[in-house]
Each structure stands twice: as structure tokens, then as C-alpha cells.
Structure 1
Amino acid sequence: MLPIDSLTWPAAWRNFAFRWRLGAVLALLLLLVSQLPRYFAWVQARPARILPDPLLAALPAHDVSGAAFAVIYLGIGLGVVTLLPRPYRLLRALWAYLLLHLLRCLTLYLLPLEPPPGLVLLRDPLVDQLIYAAPAPITKDLFFSGHTATLVLLALAVPPGGRRRALLAGSLLIGALVLVQHAHYTYDVLAAPPFAALAWWLSGRVSRLV
């Protein structure tokens, strides 16, 4: 396998395996995005159950949507800017992101949950239009927290250093904010880092160039 940071874009583009894997993951991501609205509408419509959560029961609910999406989108921006000059890391991150969503679809299928008591809707204009295109708000996409897992995944994808530490801090902050919003159970947030780590590990197998 080529050293993870040694590949420049010109060298990467000359590599057939890189081009094939990049094209494949982009096509699969587009296919996934096209199917997610139907899947989440099904998740929202089926019967589910409420989990006891002592932490949420003791935590007053507040609308912190503005702060939450500032953390999320600043973190995503930092991750993308860091990964763009590093084609192999970017390729692996894209595969990891695809695998993360597939794992999340699986866990949503296996563990149908009603939203936590006191839920304050977490409004995201971009995701609401592209992914949650349903007449009613999607509130049952719970286990595991996709927002937390995405920032953890980006922290794993960027090189060690200050940006990784910033993304890890953002992961902790977004995990706390979605709990304040009662948009997730505590279990959803705690499960996010292990699933992000699993997706990152699996992506290393899929995105190998040699």
C-alpha cells in the first residue's frame, strides 16, 4: 500500500486503482443519497419504543440548533479543506463516510426508537431538503448519532495535529449539544465514536491502491 500522505493529485490521477475507487465511491454515495429519503420515511412511520435515559431525564431541553450547526459545518469545512490536498486520505474518508451511513442504516433497522421525551426539533435546511424529504419531520433516526460520528470520522481522517484535536473537541461539543436539544439518547452519542472508528478501519481495506 502506498504511504498515506505521499500521493499528490497528478500521481493519484495516473493511478487506475485510485480513479476506479474514487469513481465507485462517488457513484455509490449518489445512489445512497437518492434512496435515503424513502428509507427515512419508512423509519419514521414504523412502530418504535422509548428507552429510559437517566441523563436526559435530568437535563432540561433547550433549542441549541444554531450552535449545533455552527459546530457541525465548521468541522466539516475544516475536514474538507484539510483533506482536499491529500487525495488518498480524501478517498479513504469518502469510503468511510459511505460505510458509516450504511452502518447507520443497519442500526436504524435493528433498533427502532421513538424520539426522547422533550425533543426539540433540530432543523437543518440542507439535510431536511436532501435527505429528510418527507411531509413530517424525521425524528426517529436515532441510533447512532450521525452528527457526532461524522466529526469523529473527520478527526480520524485528517493527519495528527491541531486540526485533529479541534475536530475531536467539536465531536465532544456536538455530542453535548444534541443531548441538550434532546435530539438523541445518550446511547446514540456514546455509540457514535466506535461506529466511526469501525467505518474508518473498514475503509482502509476497501480503498487500498495496491
Structure 2
Amino acid sequence: MSIKESWKETISNTSDRVKLIIGSVLIFIILALMPQFFNKIEKRNGVVLHDWLLAAIPPHNVSVAIFIVIWGMGLLILYRALYKPRIYIIYIWALIVVCLVRMATISFVALNPPIGLIPLADPLTGIFYGEASITKDLFFSGHIATLTLIFLCLDKKSDKMIALGAIITVACLLLVQHIHYSVDILASPIITYTCFRLAKYSLF
């Protein structure tokens, strides 16, 4: 089925059309509010965790590698969603739940950046974070959450293997750059999976 036919079929279904429109509007609103939220979080003081794993890893700037992997996976799921709109619908609603839960956990778990943190240089992520350098959006990792959602929403086994490799790779790179504590990274797939199941159960 062509891209045009796939989307025409989806839009012609009232239920799918409503999910598509409402989900797109909600995620747009959430992303628009994110810079204000993160700027507020950045001004508060938190605690520094003793992370033995980070302490054993010398910090290095691997921003380019992180950027390539994350946005490469973003392009992959976008391509798959063009031919299968349901992937987009599930992803967008799961992302809404993840964003809301993540904003809640960041609000309640006040952490200062890990020792040795090197700010991530990602021009595209700056769209959601605003002009300021944000370093206190720690628990749980948004990078790993994004990749985990992509893994969960992809259908093909080969795509899932690539996504799994991307999750492991970025998890290691985040530790190398000291962007997150290890607990932020380890908790992210578990919380994200729960959000995904909740969103999918509610939708279908």
C-alpha cells in the first residue's frame, strides 16, 4: 500500500482520525511548554548522587555520536510511520504519557548534574529546551526514553534489533559524557515501557 493510500485509509476512519488530530495537538502543546518548564527546573538546587560507575569513566564529549544515533533512529521510525500511520498514532500518544510522567519525576526528584558533565551539543534538541543549557533534566533519561519508544513502536524484527543496538550505544555514550547518572538510564526503559503499555491499552 502506498503512503497516500495508507494515510487516506487512516483519516477515513473516524476513531483513528480523532486520535491522530488530538494526539498531534497535545504533543505540540507539551513541546511548546517544555522550554519554560526546563528553564524553571534549571534554577533550582538539587543533590549530587554518588555514582561509582560514572566515577570510573573519564568524561569525553561524544555529542556528535549521540546526535547521529538518536536522530538517525528518528528518521527510521518516521519512514516506517509514513507507510503505517498507526505507528505514528501509538508513538505520539505514548510520547505524551512519557513527557508528562518525565516532567513529574523531574519535578519530584531534584538532582544536580553529575560530576564531570559535558553539556550535550545538539542543535535540534535546542528547539525543545530553549536557548539555555539544560543539565538538571535528569530522572529519567529522555534520550533513552525516546529510543525505547522507537523500539517498542517498530514492527520489523530487523528494525527492533537496530533500535536495541541504538539504546545500548546511547546509554554507554551518555555515561561517557556524564550527561546522566546511571540510575537515570537504567530506570528509563522500565518507566517508558509502562507508559507505552498504558497508552496502547487506552488507544486500542
* Secondary structure of 1:118 counterpart: coil
Q: Tell me which residue corresponds to 1:179.
A: 175
Q: Tell me which residue corresponds to 1:38.
A: 36
Q: Tell me which residue corresponds to 1:4.
A: none
Alignment of 1:44-193 (within 5 A): 44-128=42-126, 130-134=127-131, 136-193=132-189
**Please, which runs of 5 or more residues in structure 1 have no aligned partner?**
1-6
| RMSD (CA atoms) | 1.3
| Maintained 8 Å contact 1:62/1:180 | yes
Residue type of the partner of 2:142?
Answer: G
* Secondary structure of 2:124 counterpart: helix
Q: State the alpha-carbon separation in 2 of the partners of residues 152 and 132 from structure 1.
A: 20
Q: State the alpha-carbon separation in 2 of the partners of residues 38 and 126 from structure 1.
A: 17
Q: TM-score, normalised by structure 1?
A: 0.91
User: What is the CA distance between 1:206 and its match in structure 2?
Assistant: 3.0
Q: Tell me which residue corresponds to 2:200.
A: 204
Q: State the alpha-carbon separation in 2 of the partners of residues 66 and 131 from structure 1.
A: 18
Q: State the alpha-carbon separation in 2 of the partners of residues 74 and 11 from structure 1.
A: 28
Q: Tell me which residue corresponds to 1:3.
A: none
User: What is the CA distance between 1:100 and its match in structure 2?
Assistant: 1.0
Count residues with an aligned counterpart. Answer: 200
| Maintained 8 Å contact 1:95/1:206 | no
After TM superposition, the runs of 4+ consecutive aligned structure 1 residues lying more than 6 A away are none
Deviation string, structure 1 residues 12-47 (Cα, Å, up to 9, x no partner): 211111111111011101111111111001110011
| Maintained 8 Å contact 1:44/1:139 | yes
Q: State the alpha-carbon separation in 2 of the partners of residues 154 and 84 from structure 1.
A: 14
| Maintained 8 Å contact 1:40/1:138 | yes
Q: State the alpha-carbon separation in 2 of the partners of residues 47 and 166 from structure 1.
A: 38
Q: State the alpha-carbon separation in 2 of the partners of residues 38 and 148 from structure 1.
A: 22
Q: TM-score, normalised by structure 2?
A: 0.94
Deviation string, structure 1 residues 111-162 (Cα, Å, up to 9, x no partner): 011000000111111121x22214x411001111111111111011011410
**Please, which runs of 5 or more residues in structure 2 have no aligned partner?**
none
* Secondary structure of 2:129 counterpart: coil
